[in-house]
């Protein structure tokens, strides 16, 4: 009775129906009971009844047809057609409407879910091209810049920006991949790019990594054994800094009593305050080409320097 007596365009919610029945503020249990009874009576929800009224009113105003005389499928199709036409009238270069955006308009305005496939089919029947064809040759809009820009063009712009950043490097100012990503956003206005993406593009451009670039910038007169930390713009301690400190510790060891990997790890922790396991020391030592403790003991330190500086 409450649903049949509700005014058009202003349906009652389950709370209002429960309040009208018991003449007081209902509890949550009473609201759930009303909702359960409504579902058993196959009465649509508040949102569905309101959406049906809006759809019926829209179709009657635009087509002068009573929606009760039409099937649900025909009603939805007419609604999609009207929404597409109104969107095309409002569309400008900086305010463009994709099929997904039209679907969102129908869902928000009429509480009706439609698919982009249906919107695309209706749009084609109306003789309207898709958004790429409609705006072909025009610059992308602000709202759809990320979707409309050709990925290859964007990659070319990022690659050119990476090259320009690397050209400004010096011995005292070398940028890691993560630092380049931050400069792309701050200086070139390119959307946030991860250090991993910068490294991938750098490899495709055949640009060496930060350590190799730093070595190329060092003057040829500088001894290869000079143990200094490169000025990498990075918050974390890089692999090169770790290996440089390991080389320094082994270089300063007693040639007659070389350090074990565990002792090197302990010395590293005492110097830097960063914990390093024995396994990691072994891995870095092998990567540097430094012999183990037994081989260094046999060499009496004579050829250790050769391994350290190669």
Per-residue model confidence (pLDDT) at position 70: 66
User: Which residue, among 35, 34, 41, 82, has the nearest Cα to 58 in the 3D structure?
Assistant: 82
Task: Report residues of the chain scoring pLDDT below 50.
Answer: 140, 142-150, 223-228, 232-237, 301, 303-310
User: How many Å apart are CA 305 and CA 128, to the nearest integer?
Assistant: 75
Residue 63, pLDDT score: 65
Give the C-alpha separation, 198 to 204, whole Å.
Answer: 10
- The confidence score (pLDDT) of residue 148 equals 37
Helix count (H) and strand count (E) of the chain? 18, 0
* Pair of tokens at residue 108: 């928000």
Which residues are bridge partners to 232 per DSSP? Answer: 174
- pLDDT score of 303: 45
DSSP designation for 69: G
Give the DSSP letter string of 89-108.
Answer: HH-BTTB---HHHHHHHHHH
What does the pLDDT read at residue 307? Answer: 45
Phi, psi for 232 (deg, rounded to 5): -70, 135
Per residue in 45-60, pLDDT (tens digit) is 776 676 676 667 676 7
> What is the Cβ-side half-sphere exposure of residue 90, based on CA atoms within 13 angstroms?
13
Say if residue 6 is exposed, middle or buried (CB neighbours under 10 Å; 0-12, 13-18, 19+): middle
């Amino acid at each position: 009775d409450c649903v049949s007596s509700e005014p058009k365009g202003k349906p009652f919610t389950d709370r209002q129906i429960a309040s009208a029945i018991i003449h007081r503020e209902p509890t949550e249990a009473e609201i759930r009971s009303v909702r359960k009874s409504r579902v058993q009576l196959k009465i649509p929800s508040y949102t569905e009844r309101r959406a049906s009224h809006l759809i019926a009113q829209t179709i009657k105003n635009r087509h002068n047809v009573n929606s009760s005389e039409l099937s649900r499928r025909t009603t939805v199709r007419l609604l999609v057609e009207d929404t597409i036409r109104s969107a095309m009238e409002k569309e400008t270069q900086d305010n463009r409407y994709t099929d997904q955006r039209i679907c969102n308009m129908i869902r928000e305005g009429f509480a009706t879910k439609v698919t982009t496939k249906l919107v695309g089919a209706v749009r084609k029947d109306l003789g309207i091209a898709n958004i790429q064809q409609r705006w072909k040759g025009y610059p992308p809009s602000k709202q759809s810049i990320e979707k409309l820009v050709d990925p290859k063009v964007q990659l070319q712009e990022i690659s050119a920006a990476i090259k320009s950043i690397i050209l400004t490097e010096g011995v005292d100012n070398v940028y890691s991949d993560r630092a380049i990503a931050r400069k792309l956003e701050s200086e070139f206005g390119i959307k946030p790019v991860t250090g991993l993406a910068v490294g991938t593009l750098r490899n495709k451009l055949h640009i060496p990594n930060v350590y190799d670039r730093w070595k190329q910038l060092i003057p040829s007169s500088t001894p290869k054994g000079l143990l200094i930390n490169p000025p990498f713009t990075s918050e974390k301690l890089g692999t090169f800094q770790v290996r440089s400190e390991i080389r320094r510790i082994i270089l300063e060891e007693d040639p007659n009593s070389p350090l074990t990997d565990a002792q090197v790890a302990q010395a590293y922790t005492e110097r830097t305050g960063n914990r390093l396991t024995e396994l990691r020391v072994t891995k870095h030592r092998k990567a540097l080409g430094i012999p183990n403790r037994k081989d260094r003991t046999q060499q009496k330190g004579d050829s250790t320097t050769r391994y350290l500086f190669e």
